[in-house]
C-alpha cells in the first residue's frame, strides 16, 4: 500500500491554542472529527494545537477507557486546556 502525504497549508494568524493533558500520552486527539495527533504532542506549555478563533469539538480517545468529547471556544492569543483523566 502506498500513500502520499500532502502538507497542510500554513495556518494564518491570529491563533488560539488547545492543550490536551491526558494520563494516556498516546490518546488520539480529534478536532471536529479530524485526527490531529497524540495527546503528548499537545500537552505542555510549549506545545499545543494552533487553531483559528471559533468553536470546536475536541475528542480525546485513550487507548483504553472511554473517549471524552468537549466543545471549546478558541479566542485569539489564549489557550484552552482539555484534561482527560
pLDDT score, position 38:
94
Q: How far apart are CA 2 and CA 32, in angstroms?
A: 27
Nearest CA-CA partner of 19 in 73, 83, 85? 83
Q: Which domains does the chain have, with CATH numbers?
A: 16-84 (2.60.40.1120)
The DSSP 8-state label assigned to residue 8 in this structure reads P
pLDDT score, position 1:
67
Cα 66 to Cα 12, 22, 63, distances in angstroms = 34, 12, 9
pLDDT score, position 26:
94
C-alpha cell at 69: 468529547
Task: Going residue by residue through the chain, which has 85 residues, state the pLDDT in tens, using 9 for 90 and above.
Answer: 688 888 878 767 889 999 999 999 999 999 999 999 999 999 988 889 999 999 999 999 998 888 899 999 999 999 999 998 8
pLDDT score, position 54:
95
- Whether 84 and 67 have beta carbons less than 8 Å apart is answered as no
Amino acid at each position: 500500500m502506498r500513500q502520499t502525504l500532502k502538507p497542510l497549508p500554513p495556518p494564518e494568524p491570529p491563533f488560539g491554542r488547545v492543550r490536551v493533558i491526558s494520563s494516556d500520552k498516546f490518546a488520539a486527539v480529534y478536532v471536529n472529527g479530524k485526527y490531529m495527533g497524540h495527546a503528548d504532542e499537545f500537552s505542555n506549555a510549549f506545545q499545543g494545537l494552533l487553531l483559528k478563533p471559533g468553536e470546536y469539538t475536541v475528542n480525546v480517545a485513550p487507548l483504553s477507557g472511554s473517549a471524552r468529547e468537549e466543545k471549546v471556544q478558541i479566542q485569539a492569543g489564549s489557550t484552552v486546556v482539555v484534561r482527560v483523566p
